[in-house]
Structure 1
Amino acid sequence: MTNWIENVTGSFGEKKQYKQNKARIDTLPEPYSTTAKALLRYFTYSSGITDGATLVQMVGDLADLWERAAVDGTPVREIVGENPVEFAEAFVEAYTGKQWIDKERARLTKAIDDAEREQS
């Protein structure tokens, strides 16, 4: 019974790991917690990642990064630089899982291929 539920909702193990990683971010000292949460929010809206394993890995790595920065006392700007958007987008590029746009890219390609065949 679990298999069909996980097919619909996603892996329970991935959800559990995601929540654990999110909790790690929530417990970071300031300003690391605020920074990590802001980045996570940006990733949620901009990354387009739909593969659960990839998302879990990315959030875990984000938590690792800010936990290490907090332990070392590294200034936030030293990590994100002058352009936080550039940093965030470079960070996400390292995670090449399935994205929501992949389905639409395939659909567009198929539509053009079908149109071409009809024209011939």
Structure 2
Amino acid sequence: MTTGPDEPKSRYLRYLEVMTGSLEDKKRWRQYRARVKRLPENYRTAAEALERYLMHFGPADGAGAMAMFADLADLLEQSAADGTPIRDLFGDDPVEFAEAFMANYPLGQYRARERNRFTSAIARAAGEDTAREDRATG
């Protein structure tokens, strides 16, 4: 039921993706999870902990999230192959590591919209709403 790269998606597949999200992203997620399962136990534990953190606080969604998780798998696979200790990888403050890791990825549409909404609300509350002034003068 999958289509090739040059083949248009059927109406059914387009509808299914509207309802469930990108089928390609789901495939990439399953590939990521399989890669994590193959890691040594301590790296797998660290991957699952960081994954859980990223799910709650991560900046990306959709394809951006999948790129972030693929890069995470690459990092952990290489670290395991090199024998890099977990603490050397994550440092003394794992949250600092996670925040620095997330900073490399675009803000997801939902999070960007909510961040802008929050910032605008605070500006209005502080009496700094310049958009309203622009509309009044325009």
Distance in 2 (CA, whole Å) between partners of 1:56 and 1:107 is 26
Aligned length, in residue pairs: 119
TM-score, normalised to structure 2, is 0.74
Q: Give the Å deviation of 1:47.
A: 1.1
Distance in 2 (CA, whole Å) between partners of 1:6 and 1:97 is 22
**Structural mapping, 1:21-100, within 5 Å:** 21-50=32-61, 52-100=62-110
Q: Which amino acid aligns with 2:44?
A: S
Residue 29 to residue 107, structure 1, CA distance change in 2 (3 Å): closer
Q: Secondary structure at the match of 2:63?
A: helix
Q: Which runs of 5+ in 1 are unaligned?
A: none
Distance in 2 (CA, whole Å) between partners of 1:106 and 1:7 is 25
Q: 3-12 vs 66-75, which deviates more?
A: 3-12
Q: Percent identity?
A: 39
Q: Which amino acid aligns with 2:46?
A: T
User: Which runs of structure 1 show a deviation greater than 3 angstroms over 4 or more consecutive aligned residues?
Assistant: 106-120
| RCO comparison, higher one (Cα < 8 Å, 6+) | 1
Q: Which runs of 5+ in 2 are unaligned?
A: 1-11
* Structure with the greater alpha carbon radius of gyration: 2
